[in-house]
Amino acid sequence: MKSKPALVWDAWNKDHIKKHGVTVAEAEEAYHYEVGRTDSYDGRQMFFGVTKKRRLITVAVSYKKQRRPYPVSARIMSKKERRMYL
């Protein structure tokens, strides 16, 4: 299995996901242990994953300004997403 590229973190996206109650470690886990993914607008991808503590997290990544995935958001999965991917 091919490993995924590492997520690119900076102060802005770390602060942004904190506002959604998600840690960097949880976003990383959800990204690496995905249960589903879909394309989104503006060339973004949505990754749906589960953490070791069984939290269901959605991570939105962008490739617009760089080759490696830049998380623009991470949050708890919506009910609709849970129905679709679990």
User: Over the stretch 27-40, which tens digit does the pLDDT of each residue have?
Assistant: 999 999 999 999 99
Dihedral class, residue 48 (left if φ above 0, else alpha if ψ from -120 to 50, else beta): beta
Mean pLDDT estimate for the chain: 94
Query: Is residue 8 within 8 Å of 28, Cβ to Cβ?
Result: no
The residue segments making up the domain with residue 42 are: 24-85
Query: Is residue 27 within 8 Å of 9, Cβ to Cβ?
Result: no
With H, G, I as helix, E, B as strand and everything else as coil, classify residue 60.
Answer: strand
Bridge partners of 73, per DSSP, are 60
What does the pLDDT read at residue 2? 64
What does the pLDDT read at residue 67? 86
Residue 18 falls within a domain, yes or no?
no
Residue 10 falls within a domain, yes or no?
no
Between CA 44 and CA 1 the distance in angstroms is: 23
Please say if the pLDDT value at position 65 is more than 90: no
The number of distinct structural domains making up the chain is 1
